[in-house]
Structure 1
Amino acid sequence: MEVVASVTSIIGLCCSLHEVVRTKYKHLRTPTRSIRQLNNLMHRLIARARGVEHEINQLQHLMGAESTNFCNTWLKQVDQVEREVCNLVDENGPHRQIKGCCFICSRIKLGELVEEKIQDIRELLETVPDSKDIAIPVSRRGDILPTTPMMENQTHKLTFMRIWEFLFDRNARRIGVWGMGGVGKTTIMLAINNSLLNNSSEFNCYLGGDIAVKLNLTFKETDDERIRALKLFHTFKRRNKFTLILDDVWEPVNLENVGIPVPTVKNCCKLVIITRNIRVCREMETDKNVEVKVLLEEEAWNLFKDKAGEQVLSNPNIKSIAMDVAKECGGLPLAIVAVGRALRDTTNMREWENALEELRTSSIDTYNIYEVVCSRLKLSYSKLKDDTRRHCFLYCGLYPKGHLIEENELINYWVWEDLLQGPSTSVMKRKGQMIIDELISACLLELKIENGVRFVKLHDMVRDMAIPILSTKPRCIVNAGIGRVKPPIPPEWREDVEWVSLTRNDVKSIDFSPMCPRLTSLLLQYNSFEEDISHHFFDNMHGLKVLNLSYTGISVLPVSLSNLENLHALLLSHCWNLDKVPSLERLTKLNYLDFSLSRGLTELPQGMEQLTYLRHLDFSYTSIQNLPAGLVSKFTLLEGLLMLGSPMIGVSSVRANRTLYPVIVEEIISCRNLSLLHMQFLDFEDYREFAKLMKYYQLKELKLLVGFSESALLELSEKTSLAICGGYERSNVSEDEITALIPRNVEELIISQFVGMKCLSLHLWNAMYLKRCQVKWCPDLECIFESEENNLSRLETMHLSHLPKLRMICGKVVRPCTLMNLKSIHVFKCNSLKCLFPRQLMDELKSLEEVIIINFWYMEEIIEGERNTNAEDSSQAAKVFLPKLQRLELYHLSSLKSIYKGNIQCNSLRAIAVVGRNALKKLPLGLFGVEAGQQISLSTTLQQILCHNEWWQSLQWDQPEAKNLLQSYFVDCDKRNVAWRHAGTSLLRAAVIYREGSILMERATIS
């Protein structure tokens, strides 16, 4: 068997050698024939490659297509093979002379190489790209688009740079760009598009228009939305990275439904949405949003000059008017360009004056600007969801140009006008707030917040768009804030007029009776009405729902007022001459009645008991003497009762009839819908009875004055506020009673003149919502917070004054987070207080922004030092961190030796005041940082140090150069009338005058 196997192996080996020899002999005999075959195949391959390239060129020219990756790879392989074949033929041409053994080897090697290249060419011929693999019908990286060059203004530059930054932010995949119509959103994005293309960025860029057209993608008529979306999706996917800019988006777009790949960090794609409504950005889940704002005044003027031409500058008189014309455009680029072009090179003074007048009165048809500007803005109006929102928006046009409209007031008008439908007032008001938010999002209203109060306003050009609509549907007379002294003439008061606004003029009288049966709102506030109004004025206004005569000098109301049976709101606030109101018996639908600050009124109108739909009654600061028994109980729907400063319930009249008092209180308490109550009690006993019965928890707004004059109301700023003065009645007020007298939901508390109260926190165990607290003139008070049971985590402001026995703010045991939100503490004349804060409390005061301490005899330190440290060695004291502290003011602390024995780090500190004699030698406030090389640098936001020059010179510094670094911030308070720059952000100005050992501080708000 072994012999057979050996013979078989030898035979196999011989066969293999025979095949190798045969192949080598073949290469040796026929190299010329093989090379000829190679050349023929190569020519065929080159011809096919040229055909493919020609087809690609045609598709690129006709459709803007690009070759596929497969096609590009195939063409590269053809080029490579062609080079290799050329080199092979050149190196082995007929000129090459090789003899002997080398000749044989060379011929064999040549044959092998030729055979290899023939095989490569055959494979390429078998894989020639067909039509569908040659190119894909996509556009180039994008198109350079024509655009108006942006002016050199900072507003647009900053917006451009923010968007540009987000485009290259890896985590910002969806970017929202929003702003009102005509503000320049598209202009900026056109510039973004062109910059992306010009700067050879990594993105393919497509802006606006039909996306399929931009991608040169065609659909068949039989393709449904799903198939079209699928085609669009695959087309985008083949483009790899892209930036898609969707312009003029009015409603949220579902990307998957239309075939746009969802941008992610992984696929490196970007989506930019340009819209007028921030709601669209939110619902499309944008990562970054950029608001395009109107131009600043100087920028607007520069743009206007460019459009109006050099003639604007040549005549000083025209230039002055032209500046006013530019201001009327409200910084809106579209309006500035349109008005500037309409007046370009105009030298006629009269034309400029007419243009200014027309802009101010919103009559801008003369220069065809309305079609250019307002038609663009009107799109935002027409895109609102329904007529309810459109009517709510138009109602804002009844206010004067540029007027700030308080949100609550506006919503009330909508409710009274029946523009909002709902089962209750609270539901309607929530709907009104939602509509305001939508109008702000749609850039039809601008939000302004002043002193914590929310206002809205119409941009001037948006109002100009609204006024022509108001003149047609609904038909309105809008003459607000234009200086009229006479009302519109009778023919203007047509039967189809629905709203009339003559507010903020100087109309002196109305002596006719217009026929306006459809009139629902009549706004006459802020007019003098020196000669009153015709008694028949309301005869033909039976549909009137809202009548506002507030802030007028009217003394006698028309008798016809009594016939307004559909009236919902009657506003007669601040009518300084008004002393009597006609009968309201027939006004059975009235739900809002306001007499506040009409001090001439001494009695309520007749027929009040018929107002069973009344929801709001305000007679604060009037002279009304009597509130008839049983009247309030008839107002079963009453939600708001305001009676501060009125000499009736809770004042002297109650003393005269003590038996009547519980009845009146019970009537008020019986109003189950009551959520707003303003009352004043001059008698402490009256409030004691009231507090026992009143269910405070149902009140959303509560302002109570007990024992205080009405001026104390100016100190109350929160919705639920109590100012209570004990009047030093030791025997009549027990400790438990004080606790019961403080409402559970109180947000602001002023306590004064309580004898016997030793610890405030014992009476605040249930005041979990307290934000502001003021305690003064309590002679026995020793401690503010001591109990572990207190949780005053919402407390933001604390003012303490004239507390002679106060020895500590917080005791040794305080519940964690008790003062975690405390921002401001003011302490005045608490002479037993030796330190302000215990050391263990400092970890709770991370929100503290302001500390002001005035007139202390015995205070030795602000923060109590550790017991194991001394004044000379502060290295062992733990560092205190106050990251938000901005102001530290210390006045007349004669015994003060130390702010803290350790170091305080407060990098937000802006202002320091140390005034009066003291023993303070150091400012351990972490004002410096140490750089490389042990060089110190100012590490805070410090702006000013107010102190005496003598004290400043005596300060001791750990670093010798520290004083020089701070010298420029020093302000000498020895000089009279020193101007003290407020270093905070609240724009307050404090003037500090040091005179004869006393300090006078005046703070006034400035704009």
Structure 2
Amino acid sequence: MGNIFSIELSLDTIITCCWNCATGQASYICNLENNLHTLKNEVEELKAIRSDLMSKVRIAEDEQQLKRLDQVDLWLSRAETLINDADQLIVQSPQHVEKLCMGGCCSSHPRSTHKFGKQIARILQEVKDQKQKRDFSDVASKPPLPSATERPSEPTVGLELNFNKVWSCLQKEQVGIIGIYGLGGVGKTTLLNQINNKFHDTTHDYHVIWAVASQDRPIERVQDQIAKRIGLSNEGWKSIEEKAEDIFQVLCKKKFALLLDDLWERFDLTRAGVTLPTQENGSKVIFTTRSRDVCCQMQPNMDIRVECLPPEKALKLFEEKVGSETLQMHPDIRKLAKAVAEECAGLPLALITIGRAMASKKSPQEWEYAIEVLRQSTASVLPGVGKEMYPKLKFSYDCLPDEMFRSCFLYCSLYPEDYYIKKDKLVACWIGEGLLDEHTNLSSARNQGHFIIGSLIDACLLEKRPNNDFLKMHDVIRDMALWIAGESENERFFVKSGVRLKEQPKAKKWEEVTRMSLMDNQIENLTEILECPNLQTLFLGRNDLKVIMNDFFISLPMLRVLDLSDNRHLEELPVGIAKLVSLEHLDLSFTRIRKLPVELKTLAKLKYLNLEWTRDLELIPQQLISRFSKLQVLKMVGCGCGCLLVLEEMEHLKYLNVLTLSFRSASELEKASRFNKFFSCAIEHVCLEYFRDSRSLNIMALAKLQHLCTLKVSRCMDLEKVKIERNIIEGAGCFHSLRSVILVKCNHLRDVSWVTFAPHLEGLVILECKGLEEIISEEKLGEVAELKGNSNLFSKLGMLYLFQLPKLKTIYHHALPFPQLEKIIILGCPMLKKLPLNSNSAKGQRLVIEGDKGWWKDVGWEDESTKIAFLPTFKPRIYYEILDIN
């Protein structure tokens, strides 16, 4: 009976299968295996199409700064969904295939197999259809300009009422132009920032434009800023009128709000091309100025004076800057702090500056002295700038330790407004000028210079920049410094920097001038003798100099510092430069000079010569360098004239202390290492560039340089490997002073593991190394794991910049603590999916990670706590930072 029952069940199954076939339902089952095979192939092709399209999109977004088209985004999203659905079905397919029988035409579970086969057929058709829709003539387009761009702004005290006034005026149709005026440093720019950001945070139909019109800046600067904001190209413009016409044609069709900061004279809106605001067009102009006269000349519909803070708000701001710790050091200090705040007369900049200066004063006596100094200040100030401001701000200057500090501070005003001053260059000028103490060695003098910079920053007279190599002087502080120099009997400054001069300026009393700055202008020719018998410093850098007449320098017997750097059209030095018999500091960097005149041999006092990045320099006369018997600093990185030609002469310079050099082959580097000066000098910067003769580089000689701070390896196209010999790794001081490594376009390097042997590395920049796969190779590091120097990998690293490294997959295979890391910028590294960070790396950090939004979304994290810790650190970025990689 049992056998008969079994046969009956089998027959039922067969009958059911036959019924399915008879009713036309079996095709999904019979075609299941073929459809599965086809689906797998079609999905792989769809993935490849998606990958190619994404590459085009990333290039358009990252490099061309375009915005992907909505239809492209929709296609990619649909493709992603189909691929995920197909992959899930493919994963489920084995269990359904196992149920097939009778040659694949039947199934032991026909209903579920039929349903699955139908899903496969449907998704297969949808994948095919999606592939057919893949052709796009363009993948991205220029994004629309945002209505307003957010500006950085700090929390403020006491501006709420003024802000409400301005914002209320903006709502009135009859108000088209609003003027904001008041003392320098009273908060006008801060107020304008708040207005801008209010536009950014609210819904409106204005196109908001921010522009700055600083003192002595021509109308072209504002035009350029407007043109950039409204998407106009400035190519082909020859005159103000041409710019104005193009700007007008755009603005007359827009409802705009022009925020115009820092007017020093009447600004002709019509001449600039700005459509005048009317009730009909609804546009607005809001400007700030330090002068009430200028405000009236602009004929605003409404003007608002920004007053100094009332006593209670002024005291609140002052106490915030002093800090609660100092205020609680003695019972009398809080009362004395109120008296100091009163002497600041409610001026925010004075409150902030002096408040920070007093933060370190812990005794009542120091506070009483501050009150006395502030009350006794009787110096007059420049008309229209504010009689109440400079005497108050000058307190920080008066409190500097001595005249040396004060002279060094005033020297910074020679640079243009908003200029980033490089610390090392500034100190070198101070040394050449003789502002510092006499020192037995250059290193000691430099240390003193950097100590003074630190003190000036602590006194809030200078501002340090995010890149610690640079500093900046606030424009109001700079104005104060120039005012002080103008009042001084010992200092006579002539400063016309950054004001777009096209010709050599004139002055009535050249004989009194001790320091002159004409840098950052458009002067092409110097054709008149400069009769300044007492001039000690002359800044002519960043001009368009082509011709300097031979007798230009003839009447400068006291000149000690001459800066001609960044004159990209200057090809020849006048032989008359030989008349500068007192010259100690000569900067010719970033010029196009072709040869050094032999007449330079008369500069017997020369101590500093900068020839960096003089690519066109082909001839340095024999025995010229050796004639500079007092030379201490010689900079030749990027110099067209090879260093080997002068290394032999350097041997005779007993005071030569600092060198920077470039090498264009491994053999040249090897030859240079035979000279005594190569190791006896403090070689601070070495550039290895355009190597064509070596696939492998042994940098043993460089590893032994005790003072090497910066190493740049650039465009060494054949270089595949950098070797470090074990004997120098085991020795003391391997790359002990190396702080910065820059790699540019070394396309065959696969890793840069050797940088781990620089224990104090602070900055690592790698740019366009197309073959680079990993920063630190775990395998290579393991080969020398038993050696010293690797226990604190990247323990001093402060910044890591990785740009356009298409094959980079790994920075390091394990997470690192990075105790000093402040910034990571990663752009154009699509294969880098994980960072060497974990939750421990985040402890006590203020890390900022910048990169492409799309890349950031794909970054994988070690765990959820790491992800939570680092997600807030990200800032989107689609452009290269301006890097000082030279």
Higher relative contact order (CA 8 A, sep 6+): 2
Report the TM-score when normalising by structure 1. 0.44
Report the TM-score when normalising by structure 2. 0.50
